[in-house]
Amino acid sequence: MAAVEPNGAPGAVESRWDGTTGPGVVAAIDVGTNSIHMVVARRSATGGFEVLTRHKEVVRLGSGGGDMSELAEDAMDRGVAALGRCRAIAEQHGARLVAVATSAVREATNRDVFLHRARQEAGVEVDVVSGAEEARLIHLGVLQALPVWDRTILLCDIGGGSTELLVGRGEDVLASRSFKVGAIRLSRRFFPDGVGSGDSVERCRRAVRDVVAPFTSQARSTRFDVVVGSSGTIEALVGMACARAGRRPRSLNAQVVAWEDVHAVVAEVAACGSVDEIRDLPGVDASRADILLGGSLILDEVLDAAGRPDLVFSDGALREGVLLDAARRADGTGGHHLKDLRRRSVLHVMELCEDDPDHAVHIARLADRLFDGLAPLLGLAEEHRELLEAAALLCNVGLSISHSRHHQHSYYVIRNSDHLLGFTDGEAELIAQVARYHRKAAPSERHEPFARLDDDDRRTVRGLSAMLRVAVGLDRSHRGAVDEVRVEVQPDRIGICVGPPQADLSLELYSAAERRGLLEEVTGREVVVQQLG
């Protein structure tokens, strides 16, 4: 099968995964609101992917009551069973499995139940991604499927529970938003029988317009070159437009459809009096006939607000983006970019919320020095260094809410920010907890978020928090007085020696010593903070 190449991407690093060396085959799963999709692929010599197999099941995770606030028991049963089958297929190919969940799981109050069942019953660890991270990963998937690297694109991806809109050029995300309008969500709200009645179509249009218009107006001001659509809803509509024109291409990827043709298809769907009539339309995907009207109106309104441009379909989307992201994490191909992206996003949140960014940057430098000397003792890997840096840069962002309990507010800001890109949900949780425990109470199972972590993550939070507390103490004066840190580890003692030797560091020495308790607890050694002689 032909490889999916990163069309137009400059400087592709050549690497070959042959299944016997390196990370081997990767299986990427998209746990969506409507369907669970998986693609299994091997990295090609040119940096693209050779797709080995695909698997898709319609599970309707977002079929629970309320505005997708809870996952229904039967929906979770279907989802867990589908994940188990995905895992079996992945194992047949010797694939490393990476799974991400989007809107339905992201918004559910009982998501932890589903994630636990996925882990225990299906053997699949599912990461929940934010709307902004979902958009970034979809963008990566599109760049592998279409030759749009050197063009500014407006990307629209319509899921069951949310719609992601993004403006990007190359791998740079210029703007992105996730909106709580999706094919299932709108169909349940406006078309419970799957078809329009009375003024329901116009009310649905207004609801979409009110939500997406500000972003599409901003997108038009950037003068994008092309509009790209991905996802099952848009694939269905593009297929119907092609069938309506008497065309049945072997692949819909890169198919260009005029706005007038999309609009005509949407009008046909809206005019149907029953779901059976929708199923009978040329080229329709029968499995989504009952939610097609809600999804089609989203696309119609987005294109209208964007100036009625032509639409290019991409069959590369979230799972292909996850595939590339996982490959980069595993083999380092392009990893520098991913790392830069994460750091830029952390700095952006810091700049938005931190009154004293120089203080935050200096704390991060001090924490990094402590990590050099203490990581082996605490069993921490190099990957944890980046989490510590992020937590150090963000530990005081809660001050933007209130000085009182600002460490708790920092946890809230980090966990609810749409600006942290490139991190998994698990990584963001660890960063938030390390930031939360930079002062006051130590990590404790009395705190529900900490209690939910597994043993390894608890040890990580305790170790990183212990270092961060001392680092914060070493800049108690906010004047960057400490410019040197050396760690001396002995069997029963840890010496933290700081400089410069002749400076007045009395406040810093006192404050760091006051914050050493957690470090003594996690290392089982006395900690002595002293000035270099």
- Which two structure tokens, joined as six digits, stand for 270? 């809206």
Confidence of residue 17 (pLDDT cuts 50, 70, 90): very low
Q: Is 400 helix (H, G, I), strand (E, B) or coil?
A: helix
Question: 331: pLDDT confidence band, cut at 50, 70 and 90?
Answer: low
| Residue 15 in this model has a pLDDT that exceeds 50 | no
How far is 333 from 237, CA to CA, in rounded Å? 35
Whole-number pLDDT of residue 339: 63
The rounded distance, in Å, linking the Cα atoms of 468 and 366 is 9
Please state, rounded to an integer, the average pLDDT across all residues of the chain.
89
Q: What is the pLDDT of residues 458-487, one digit of tens each?
A: 999 999 999 999 999 999 999 999 999 999
Type of residue numbered 366: L
Helices (H), 230-333: 232-244, 259-271, 275-279, 292-305, 318-331
- Encode pLDDT of 192-220 as tens digits: 999 998 899 999 999 999 999 889 888 88
Which residues, 6+ apart, have CB-to-CB distance to 131 below 8 Å? Answer: 103, 106, 162, 164, 177, 178, 418
User: DSSP characters for 420-476?
Assistant: --S--HHHHHHHHHHHHTTSSSPP-TTSHHHHHS-HHHHHHHHHHHHHHHHHHHTTT
pLDDT value of residue 45: 65
- Give the pLDDT confidence score for residue 9 in this predicted structure: 34
Q: What is the pLDDT of residues 121-130, one digit of tens each?
A: 999 999 999 8
Report the SS3 class of residue 484.
strand
Asked if pLDDT for residue 141 goes beyond 50, the answer is yes
Rg (CA), the chain: 25
Rounded to whole angstroms, how far apart are CA atoms 295 and 152? 25
**Cβ-proximal residues to 478 (8 Å cutoff; 6+ apart), any chain:** 356, 359
For residue 169, the cross-strand partners are 152, 172
Which domains, from first to last, does the chain contain?
A: 3-128+320-328 (3.30.420.40), 147-315 (3.30.420.150), 334-531 (1.10.3210.10)
Which pLDDT score, from 0 to 100, does residue 64 have? 65
Which residues are registered as beta bridge partners of 228?
Answer: 155, 312
pLDDT score, position 482: 97
Give the lowest-confidence range in 19-28, 107-116, 167-176, 242-251.
19-28
Q: What's the residue count for the chain?
A: 533
Mutual angle of helices 335-353 and 383-394, in 10-degree steps? 20
Rounded average pLDDT over 523-528: 97
Region 349-366: what's the mean pLDDT?
94
Confidence tier at 65 by pLDDT (50, 70, 90): low
Task: Specify the pLDDT at position 337.
Answer: 52
Residue 390: name the closest of 318, 504, 413 by CA: 413
Tokens encoding 282: 């040329």
Q: 442, 361 in Cβ contact below 8 A?
A: no
pLDDT at 224: 92
Q: How far apart are CA 88 and CA 76, in angstroms?
A: 18
Reduce the DSSP state of residue 127 to 3 states and report it.
Answer: strand
- Mean pLDDT for 394-410 is 94
Cα–Cα distance measured from residue 428 to residue 416, given in angstroms and rounded to the nearest whole number: 10
Cis peptide before 357 (omega within 30 of 0): no
How are the residues of the chain apportioned to helix, strand and coil, as percentages rounded to the nearest 5? 50, 15, 35
**Cα atoms found within 13 Å of the Cα of residue 55, Cβ hemisphere only:** 21
- Confidence grade of residue 43 (pLDDT, cut at 50, 70, 90): confident
Write down the residue that tokens 């509009």 correspond to: 227
The per-residue DSSP string of 187-244 comes to HHHH-TTSS--TTHHHHHHHHHHHHHHHHHHHHHHTT-SEEEEESHHHHHHHHHHHHH
Segment 70-107, tens digit of pLDDT: 999 999 999 999 999 999 999 999 999 999 999 999 99
d(CA 180, CA 161): 6
Place of tokens 């490393």: 96
Residues of the chain with pLDDT > 90, as a percent, come to 74
DSSP calls for 67-129 = TTTS--HHHHHHHHHHHHHHHHHHHHTTPEEEEEE-HHHHH-TTHHHHHHHIIIII---EEE-
pLDDT, position 47: 64
3-state secondary structure of 314: coil
79-93, 207-221, 348-362, 436-450: least confident range: 207-221
Residue 59 DSSP code: -
Q: Diameter of the chain by CA atoms?
A: 86
Beta strand 163-169 pairing with 152-158:
antiparallel
Q: What is the pTM of this model?
A: 0.75
Q: Which residues pair with 348 in a beta bridge?
A: none
3-state SS class at 488: strand
